[in-house]
Amino acid sequence: MSGEGVCDEEVYDTVYREHAPGLFRFLAYKHGNEAKARDTVQESFLKLWEKCMDVLPEKAKSFLFTVANNQFLNEVRKEKVRLDFSKQSGTTQVDHESPGFKLEYTEYGKRLEEAINSLPEGQREVFLLNRIEKHTYKQIAEMLDVSVKAIEKRMHKALLKLKTLLHPK
């Protein structure tokens, strides 16, 4: 029962350096809160350490993304007064502070930032992961565990909405 896989300090550090920045940006874009995103990255990696015997290094990424997502959903749940398990609604309402990315400080840039901020969570995260982080639709689909087609639809809707907000008829 000696240390193996992710339990090995060096493997763990490598996994951290490889996945923590991406996980951080994913969470920050999703929730629009950098501080919360940094803490959730920490908690996810603590969980990975606890479960290091059960997680192969090549499975670490999907483990981390799953844990981070659940962690966040738990946070949201805690904030609600009463738990309700009868409804499993897919959308979650979250307060957004700012989408975090840095646009050039122009009038148009500012308006675009605001418009992106007002997108639904599902569209915003996908849009920013693609436009800012340059992830392909396929990579994003894997991160979110949905189809590429679903990602393309969200991208299309996001851009359509941004255009309507910035250039109303």
For position 77 contacting other proteins by CB under 8 A, the verdict is yes
CA 18 to chain centre: 16
The residue range among 88-96, 117-125, 147-155 that interacts with other proteins, by the rule CB under 8 A, is 147-155
Could you please report the per-residue DSSP string of 11-76?
Answer: HHHHHHHHHHHHHHHHHHHHHS-HHHHHHHHHHHHHHHHHTTTT--GGGHHHHHHHHHHHHHHHHH
Q: How far is the CB of 126 from other proteins (least distance, A)?
A: 9
How many chain residues touch other proteins (CB under 8 A)? 54
Given 11, 16, 61, 94, the residue binding other proteins (CB under 8 A)? 16
Kindly list the residues in this chain that would bind other proteins in the complex (CB under 8 A). Answer: 1, 13, 16-17, 20-21, 24-25, 28, 34, 38, 41-42, 45-47, 49-50, 53-54, 70, 74, 77, 83, 85, 100-104, 106, 108-109, 112, 130-133, 136-137, 149, 151-157, 159-160, 162-163, 166-167
